Amino acid sequence: MRGAPLGVALAVATLAFSGCGAEEKTSSSKSESSGGGAASNEAAQQKVEQQLGGSCTLKQYGGKATDLKSATVGFSQSEKEANPFRVAETQSIRDEAKKVGVKRLIVTNANSQLNKQISDIQDLVARGVNALVVAPLNSEGLEPALAAARKRDVAVITVDRKLTGPQHCKDYLTFIGSDFVQQGQRAADAMIKATGGKANVAILLGSSGNNVTEDRNKGFLDRMKEKAPGIKIVAQQTGEFLREKGQSV
């Protein structure tokens, strides 16, 4: 589920930098559609806008329209590629960049260090990227890097982890990610089914300071409280999203 939105990031960038107004395209597509398809698309769009706090076009953000086929795009990866998901995520970005014809893609890796991710992003901006895709290490702390991008009107698309301090359409263009509360709920449903609703359960958390860990845990605990009072949570420890640490705690 986590990987699904990743290839979308550069597709969103393609639309954003095409030079066409996203608002005009949206209204036109609605008028040309009919039946349940239009209603379904409109409902999906409204849900996304509600999650983001509203829609945002490149014009509203103040970014510069650029043809991606002649652009330089930066991707700031957050975690060590000892994490198999991050390997797949980076490859997804590379594949999509090639697919949409990005002329130059620069990839950096912060190796799970917030200060390095800040400097990575600032360096990408200094190197003249036209757009940035960022997989934040934490939900907080990237403000200096975003400010550097904003100063040069570089559109930033964040993926996977949602930022809690900076505002979309002001500090960054948009966010693409999963419903992590729902993921926690589905994990709880699987646990309830496997245990028959009676068990002592230990929770292995991801890294602290990001919405992925918090939202998944909330979804899991709320669903357990609602549907399985016979399941007792006996411990919660972090594995930092690292396999070796998860095996040792």
pLDDT tens per residue, range 88-117: 999 999 999 999 999 899 999 999 999 999
DSSP category for residue 127: T
Number of folded domains that form the chain? 2
Question: Is 38 part of a structural domain of the chain?
Answer: no
Is there a single domain that holds both residue 75 and residue 98?
A: yes
Question: Is 52 part of a structural domain of the chain?
Answer: no
Range of the domain at 172: 8-21+57-176
Is there a single domain that holds both residue 244 and residue 124?
A: no
Residue 63 has pLDDT above 90, yes or no: no
Question: Quick one: pLDDT at residue 30?
Answer: 40
Report the CATH number that the domain containing residue 115 is assigned in CATH: 3.40.50.2300
Nearest residue to 218 (alpha-carbon basis) of 184, 194, 248:
184
Is there a single domain that holds both residue 108 and residue 171?
A: yes
Question: Quick one: pLDDT at residue 5?
Answer: 52
Is there a single domain that holds both residue 113 and residue 156?
A: yes
Is there a single domain that holds both residue 192 and residue 163?
A: no
SS3 156: strand
Structure tokens at 24: 């005009």
Number of Cα atoms under 13 Å in the Cβ half of residue 143: 6
| This prediction's pTM | 0.71
Domain edge (last residue) among 150, 176, 202: 176
Question: Is 40 part of a structural domain of the chain?
Answer: no
Is there a single domain that holds both residue 92 and residue 197?
A: no
193/75 Cα distance (integer angstroms): 40
Q: How far is CA 69 from CA 102, 125, 169, 202, in A?
A: 5, 18, 24, 49
Domain edge (last residue) among 138, 161, 176: 176
pLDDT band at residue 239, thresholds of 50, 70 and 90? Answer: confident
Domain edge (last residue) among 159, 176, 193: 176
Question: Is 51 part of a structural domain of the chain?
Answer: no
CA–chain centroid gap for 51, Å, is 12
Centre a 10 Å sphere on the Cβ of residue 21 and count the other Cβ atoms it contains. 14
